[in-house]
Protein backbone atom coordinates (compact mmCIF):
# COMPACT_ATOMS: atom_id res chain seq x y z
CA UNK A 1 0.00 0.00 0.00
CA UNK A 2 1.48 3.34 -1.05
CA UNK A 3 2.23 5.90 1.66
CA UNK A 4 1.08 9.19 0.16
CA UNK A 5 2.05 11.24 3.19
CA UNK A 6 5.14 13.39 3.53
CA UNK A 7 7.13 14.54 6.54
CA UNK A 8 8.38 18.09 6.87
CA UNK A 9 10.33 18.56 10.07
CA UNK A 10 8.16 17.09 12.81
CA UNK A 11 4.96 17.43 10.81
CA UNK A 12 3.25 14.79 8.69
CA UNK A 13 0.98 15.92 5.85
CA UNK A 14 -1.45 13.40 4.35
CA UNK A 15 -0.26 14.28 0.84
CA UNK A 16 2.17 16.74 -0.74
CA UNK A 17 -0.45 19.18 -2.08
CA UNK A 18 -0.88 22.50 -0.27
CA UNK A 19 -3.08 25.45 -1.26
CA UNK A 20 -0.79 28.47 -1.67
CA UNK A 21 -1.13 31.72 0.20
CA UNK A 22 -3.32 34.39 -1.36
CA UNK A 23 -5.09 32.08 -3.77
CA UNK A 24 -7.38 30.19 -1.42
CA UNK A 25 -8.71 32.70 1.10
CA UNK A 26 -9.07 30.81 4.37
CA UNK A 27 -10.40 27.73 2.59
CA UNK A 28 -14.11 28.22 3.24
CA UNK A 29 -15.21 29.08 -0.32
CA UNK A 30 -13.36 26.12 -1.82
CA UNK A 31 -14.97 23.81 0.72
CA UNK A 32 -18.18 24.29 -1.26
CA UNK A 33 -16.51 22.47 -4.18
CA UNK A 34 -14.81 19.63 -2.27
CA UNK A 35 -13.66 18.61 1.19
CA UNK A 36 -10.65 20.89 1.55
CA UNK A 37 -9.36 18.76 4.45
CA UNK A 38 -8.29 16.23 1.79
CA UNK A 39 -5.41 18.58 0.89
CA UNK A 40 -2.07 18.27 2.65
CA UNK A 41 -2.56 21.78 4.04
CA UNK A 42 -3.88 25.27 3.41
CA UNK A 43 -1.79 28.46 3.55
CA UNK A 44 -3.61 31.56 4.68
CA UNK A 45 -3.51 34.92 2.94
CA UNK A 46 -0.43 36.86 4.09
CA UNK A 47 -1.14 38.07 7.63
CA UNK A 48 0.35 41.11 9.30
CA UNK A 49 0.51 42.27 12.93
CA UNK A 50 -2.23 44.83 12.24
CA UNK A 51 -4.98 44.85 9.58
CA UNK A 52 -3.99 46.15 6.12
CA UNK A 53 -6.20 47.56 3.40
CA UNK A 54 -3.85 46.66 0.58
CA UNK A 55 -3.03 48.51 -2.63
CA UNK A 56 -5.43 50.63 -4.70
CA UNK A 57 -7.01 48.98 -7.75
CA UNK A 58 -6.37 47.58 -10.27
CA UNK A 59 -4.94 44.63 -8.37
CA UNK A 60 -4.78 41.91 -10.99
CA UNK A 61 -3.91 41.84 -14.69
CA UNK A 62 -3.82 38.79 -16.91
CA UNK A 63 -0.76 38.12 -19.09
CA UNK A 64 -0.02 35.24 -21.51
CA UNK A 65 -0.16 32.11 -19.30
CA UNK A 66 0.23 34.29 -16.24
CA UNK A 67 -1.30 36.65 -13.72
CA UNK A 68 0.17 39.85 -12.32
CA UNK A 69 -1.10 40.78 -8.86
CA UNK A 70 -0.62 43.80 -6.68
CA UNK A 71 -2.84 43.03 -3.70
CA UNK A 72 -0.57 44.65 -1.14
CA UNK A 73 -1.28 42.15 1.64
CA UNK A 74 -4.88 43.08 2.38
CA UNK A 75 -5.74 41.09 5.49
CA UNK A 76 -7.55 41.40 8.84
CA UNK A 77 -4.39 41.22 10.98
CA UNK A 78 -3.25 38.32 13.16
CA UNK A 79 -5.61 38.98 16.10
CA UNK A 80 -8.77 39.03 13.95
CA UNK A 81 -7.50 36.01 12.00
CA UNK A 82 -7.09 34.01 15.21
CA UNK A 83 -10.48 35.11 16.50
CA UNK A 84 -12.59 34.97 13.35
CA UNK A 85 -11.02 32.63 10.77
CA UNK A 86 -8.81 30.09 12.53
CA UNK A 87 -11.60 28.36 14.52
CA UNK A 88 -13.49 27.70 11.27
CA UNK A 89 -10.33 26.37 9.58
CA UNK A 90 -9.63 24.00 12.46
CA UNK A 91 -13.26 22.88 12.52
CA UNK A 92 -12.90 22.01 8.83
CA UNK A 93 -10.01 19.73 9.84
CA UNK A 94 -7.32 21.67 7.93
CA UNK A 95 -3.61 21.69 8.50
CA UNK A 96 -3.28 25.47 8.80
CA UNK A 97 -0.17 27.22 7.54
CA UNK A 98 -0.21 30.88 8.56
CA UNK A 99 1.66 33.06 6.06
CA UNK A 100 3.13 36.10 7.84
CA UNK A 101 4.63 39.32 6.48
CA UNK A 102 6.08 42.30 8.37
CA UNK A 103 8.09 45.44 7.78
CA UNK A 104 11.03 44.55 10.02
CA UNK A 105 12.45 41.70 12.10
CA UNK A 106 10.86 42.99 15.33
CA UNK A 107 7.41 43.11 13.76
CA UNK A 108 7.84 39.60 12.29
CA UNK A 109 8.71 38.47 15.79
CA UNK A 110 5.58 40.08 17.29
CA UNK A 111 3.23 38.48 14.75
CA UNK A 112 4.94 35.10 14.94
CA UNK A 113 4.88 35.07 18.74
CA UNK A 114 1.13 35.71 18.76
CA UNK A 115 0.52 33.01 16.13
CA UNK A 116 2.75 30.55 17.95
CA UNK A 117 0.29 30.64 20.88
CA UNK A 118 -2.64 29.87 18.55
CA UNK A 119 -3.86 26.63 16.96
CA UNK A 120 -2.04 27.15 13.63
CA UNK A 121 0.09 24.16 12.65
CA UNK A 122 2.87 25.94 10.76
CA UNK A 123 4.07 29.51 10.30
CA UNK A 124 5.28 30.42 6.82
CA UNK A 125 7.48 33.51 7.07
CA UNK A 126 6.89 35.51 3.93
CA UNK A 127 10.07 37.46 3.16
CA UNK A 128 9.29 37.70 -0.53
CA UNK A 129 6.20 39.86 -1.19
CA UNK A 130 7.02 42.12 -4.15
CA UNK A 131 4.05 44.46 -3.67
CA UNK A 132 4.69 46.80 -0.76
CA UNK A 133 5.71 50.33 -1.75
CA UNK A 134 9.11 51.32 -0.42
CA UNK A 135 9.92 47.88 1.01
CA UNK A 136 12.89 45.80 -0.05
CA UNK A 137 12.38 42.08 -0.55
CA UNK A 138 14.18 40.83 2.55
CA UNK A 139 14.49 37.26 1.27
CA UNK A 140 16.80 38.37 -1.50
CA UNK A 141 19.49 39.25 1.07
CA UNK A 142 21.03 36.41 3.07
CA UNK A 143 21.89 38.55 6.09
CA UNK A 144 18.49 40.21 6.40
CA UNK A 145 16.70 36.92 5.79
CA UNK A 146 18.76 35.28 8.54
CA UNK A 147 17.97 38.10 10.98
CA UNK A 148 14.21 37.68 10.49
CA UNK A 149 14.36 33.90 10.90
CA UNK A 150 16.63 34.12 13.96
CA UNK A 151 14.16 36.48 15.62
CA UNK A 152 11.12 34.33 14.77
CA UNK A 153 12.84 31.08 15.78
CA UNK A 154 13.65 32.48 19.20
CA UNK A 155 9.97 33.27 19.80
CA UNK A 156 8.25 30.23 18.34
CA UNK A 157 8.25 26.45 18.84
CA UNK A 158 5.98 25.71 15.89
CA UNK A 159 7.36 24.60 12.52
CA UNK A 160 8.72 27.61 10.64
CA UNK A 161 8.74 27.58 6.86
CA UNK A 162 10.37 30.43 4.96
CA UNK A 163 8.96 31.64 1.65
CA UNK A 164 11.71 32.98 -0.59
CA UNK A 165 11.58 35.22 -3.64
CA UNK A 166 12.64 33.84 -7.04
CA UNK A 167 15.74 36.04 -6.88
CA UNK A 168 16.95 34.41 -3.65
CA UNK A 169 20.45 33.10 -3.92
CA UNK A 170 21.58 29.83 -2.44
CA UNK A 171 23.28 31.71 0.39
CA UNK A 172 19.91 33.10 1.54
CA UNK A 173 18.41 29.61 1.65
CA UNK A 174 21.41 28.28 3.55
CA UNK A 175 21.31 31.25 5.94
CA UNK A 176 17.67 30.63 6.91
CA UNK A 177 18.38 26.92 7.27
CA UNK A 178 21.20 27.76 9.67
CA UNK A 179 18.82 29.89 11.75
CA UNK A 180 16.49 26.95 12.28
CA UNK A 181 13.93 27.11 9.45
CA UNK A 182 12.13 23.77 9.05
CA UNK A 183 11.51 24.17 5.30
CA UNK A 184 12.01 26.52 2.40
CA UNK A 185 9.10 27.48 0.17
CA UNK A 186 10.19 28.58 -3.28
CA UNK A 187 9.22 30.61 -5.14
CA UNK A 188 7.02 33.62 -4.53
CA UNK A 189 5.98 35.65 -7.60
CA UNK A 190 8.45 37.23 -10.00
CA UNK A 191 8.41 41.01 -10.09
CA UNK A 192 6.82 42.08 -13.38
CA UNK A 193 5.50 45.16 -15.16
CA UNK A 194 2.56 45.96 -17.42
CA UNK A 195 2.07 49.33 -19.16
CA UNK A 196 -1.20 50.81 -20.41
CA UNK A 197 -0.27 51.91 -23.93
CA UNK A 198 -3.15 54.43 -24.03
CA UNK A 199 -1.90 56.39 -21.03
CA UNK A 200 1.74 55.39 -21.27
CA UNK A 201 1.69 54.67 -17.53
CA UNK A 202 2.13 51.44 -15.57
CA UNK A 203 -1.12 49.52 -15.03
CA UNK A 204 -0.45 49.21 -11.30
CA UNK A 205 -0.25 52.10 -8.82
CA UNK A 206 2.81 50.44 -7.32
CA UNK A 207 4.41 50.21 -10.83
CA UNK A 208 5.57 46.60 -10.42
CA UNK A 209 3.50 43.56 -9.53
CA UNK A 210 4.00 39.84 -8.86
CA UNK A 211 3.81 37.40 -11.77
CA UNK A 212 2.48 33.89 -11.17
CA UNK A 213 0.96 31.10 -13.24
CA UNK A 214 2.31 28.63 -15.83
CA UNK A 215 4.45 31.38 -17.39
CA UNK A 216 6.89 31.11 -14.46
CA UNK A 217 6.87 27.32 -13.99
CA UNK A 218 10.16 26.37 -15.70
CA UNK A 219 11.88 29.27 -13.93
CA UNK A 220 10.53 28.20 -10.54
CA UNK A 221 11.44 24.59 -11.24
CA UNK A 222 15.01 25.61 -11.92
CA UNK A 223 15.21 27.46 -8.58
CA UNK A 224 13.72 24.50 -6.69
CA UNK A 225 16.17 22.10 -8.37
CA UNK A 226 19.11 24.25 -7.25
CA UNK A 227 17.85 24.88 -3.72
CA UNK A 228 17.04 21.22 -3.13
CA UNK A 229 20.67 20.38 -3.84
CA UNK A 230 21.94 23.17 -1.59
CA UNK A 231 20.02 22.65 1.68
CA UNK A 232 19.24 19.69 3.94
CA UNK A 233 15.79 20.87 5.01
CA UNK A 234 12.77 20.13 2.79
CA UNK A 235 11.99 22.44 -0.12
CA UNK A 236 8.36 23.11 -0.98
CA UNK A 237 7.97 23.95 -4.65
CA UNK A 238 5.72 26.77 -5.84
CA UNK A 239 5.32 28.37 -9.25
CA UNK A 240 2.71 27.80 -11.94
CA UNK A 241 1.80 24.23 -11.02
CA UNK A 242 -1.54 23.44 -12.68
CA UNK A 243 -1.55 19.66 -13.14
CA UNK A 244 -0.37 16.53 -11.35
CA UNK A 245 2.32 16.14 -14.01
CA UNK A 246 3.71 19.56 -13.03
CA UNK A 247 3.72 18.47 -9.39
CA UNK A 248 5.65 15.30 -10.28
CA UNK A 249 8.27 17.44 -12.04
CA UNK A 250 8.80 19.48 -8.88
CA UNK A 251 9.11 16.32 -6.76
CA UNK A 252 11.61 14.92 -9.26
CA UNK A 253 13.53 18.22 -8.95
CA UNK A 254 13.75 17.55 -5.20
CA UNK A 255 10.64 19.13 -3.65
CA UNK A 256 9.00 17.38 -0.67
CA UNK A 257 5.67 19.08 -1.35
CA UNK A 258 4.20 21.68 -3.69
CA UNK A 259 1.86 24.61 -3.33
CA UNK A 260 -0.91 25.32 -5.82
CA UNK A 261 -1.74 28.99 -6.34
CA UNK A 262 -3.01 30.59 -9.54
CA UNK A 263 -4.41 27.29 -10.84
CA UNK A 264 -7.16 27.54 -8.18
CA UNK A 265 -8.45 30.66 -9.96
CA UNK A 266 -8.60 28.86 -13.31
CA UNK A 267 -10.28 25.76 -11.91
CA UNK A 268 -11.53 25.69 -8.30
CA UNK A 269 -11.06 21.91 -8.34
CA UNK A 270 -7.43 22.13 -9.51
CA UNK A 271 -5.77 21.28 -6.18
CA UNK A 272 -8.02 18.26 -5.59
CA UNK A 273 -7.51 17.05 -9.17
CA UNK A 274 -3.76 17.19 -8.52
CA UNK A 275 -4.15 15.17 -5.29
CA UNK A 276 -6.10 12.52 -7.22
CA UNK A 277 -3.72 12.56 -10.18
CA UNK A 278 -0.74 12.01 -7.89
CA UNK A 279 -2.53 9.15 -6.16
CA UNK A 280 -3.11 7.46 -9.53
CA UNK A 281 0.50 8.12 -10.56
CA UNK A 282 1.74 6.40 -7.40
CA UNK A 283 -0.45 3.38 -8.08
CA UNK A 284 0.49 3.17 -11.76
CA UNK A 285 4.19 3.42 -10.93
CA UNK A 286 3.80 1.10 -7.91
CA UNK A 287 5.57 3.64 -5.71
CA UNK A 288 5.64 2.94 -1.98
CA UNK A 289 6.54 6.51 -1.03
CA UNK A 290 7.50 9.82 -2.60
CA UNK A 291 11.09 9.25 -1.54
CA UNK A 292 11.47 6.78 -4.40
CA UNK A 293 11.34 9.57 -6.98
CA UNK A 294 12.16 12.70 -4.99
CA UNK A 295 15.16 14.44 -6.55
CA UNK A 296 15.63 11.76 -9.21
CA UNK A 297 16.33 14.45 -11.84
CA UNK A 298 19.64 15.24 -10.16
CA UNK A 299 22.83 13.86 -11.55
CA UNK A 300 24.02 10.85 -9.60
CA UNK A 301 20.51 10.00 -8.40
CA UNK A 302 19.96 6.21 -8.24
CA UNK A 303 17.05 6.40 -10.74
65 is known as an active-site residue: no
The footprint of ligand SIN on this chain (CB under 6 A) covers a number of residues equal to 14
The closest of 4, 8, 275, 294 to 162, measured between CA atoms, is 8
| Residue 262 interacting with ligand SIN (CB under 6 A) | no
Angstrom distance (rounded) from CA 72 to CA 82: 21
Among 189, 259, 262, 271, binds ligand SIN (CB under 6 A): 189
Report, in Å, the least distance between residue 60 CB and ligand SIN.
10
Angstrom distance (rounded) from CA 106 to CA 152: 9
Ordered alpha helix ranges (H), the chain? 78-80, 86-91, 105-116, 142-154, 170-178, 217-230, 244-253, 263-266, 270-285
Which range, of 68-76, 103-111, 141-149, 290-298, touches ligand SIN by CB under 6 A? 68-76
Residue 220, number of CB atoms within 10 A of its CB: 25
Report, in Å, the least distance between residue 55 CB and ligand SIN.
7
CA distance between the termini of the chain: 21
The closest of 208, 239, 215 to 131, measured between CA atoms, is 208
CA angle 151, 127, 209 (to 5 degrees): 160
Which range, of 76-84, 123-131, 141-149, 225-233, touches ligand SIN by CB under 6 A? 123-131
Report, in Å, the least distance between residue 279 CB and ligand SIN.
30
Give phi and psi for 277, each to the nearest 5. -65, -40
| Of residues 66 and 210, the one with the C-beta less far from ligand SIN | 210
| Residue 72 interacting with ligand SIN (CB under 6 A) | yes
On whether the CB atoms of residues 47 and 25 are closer than 8 A, the answer is no
Report, in Å, the least distance between residue 281 CB and ligand SIN.
30
| Residue 48 interacting with ligand SIN (CB under 6 A) | no
| Of residues 73 and 278, the one with the C-beta less far from ligand SIN | 73
* Residue from 43, 129, 156, 185 carrying the catalytic annotation: 129
| Residue 271 interacting with ligand SIN (CB under 6 A) | no
Among 131, 141, 262, 271, binds ligand SIN (CB under 6 A): 131
| Of residues 174 and 188, the one with the C-beta less far from ligand SIN | 188
What DSSP string describes 135-153? ---GGGSHHHHHHHHHHHH
Which run of H or of E encompasses 193?
A: strand 190-193
| Residue 22 interacting with ligand SIN (CB under 6 A) | yes
Among 73, 98, 125, 173, binds ligand SIN (CB under 6 A): 73
| Of residues 206 and 243, the one with the C-beta less far from ligand SIN | 206
Beta strand 190-193 pairing with 208-212: antiparallel
Which range, of 35-43, 67-75, 133-141, 263-271, touches ligand SIN by CB under 6 A? 67-75
> For residue 216, with 0-12 CB atoms within 10 Å meaning exposed, 13-18 middle and 19 or more buried, which class applies?
buried
Binding site for ligand SIN (CB under 6 A): 22, 46, 69-73, 126, 128-129, 131, 188-189, 210
Which residues are annotated as catalytic?
Answer: 129
Amino acid sequence: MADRSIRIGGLTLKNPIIAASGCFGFGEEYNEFYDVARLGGVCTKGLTRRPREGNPPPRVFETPCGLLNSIGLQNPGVDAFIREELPMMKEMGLVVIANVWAECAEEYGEAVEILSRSAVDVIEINISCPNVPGQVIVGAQAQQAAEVVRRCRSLCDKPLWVKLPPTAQIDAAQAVEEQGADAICAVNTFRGLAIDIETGRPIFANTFAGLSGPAIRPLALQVVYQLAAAVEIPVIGIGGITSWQDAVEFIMAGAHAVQIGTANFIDPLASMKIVEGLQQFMEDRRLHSWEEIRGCAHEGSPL
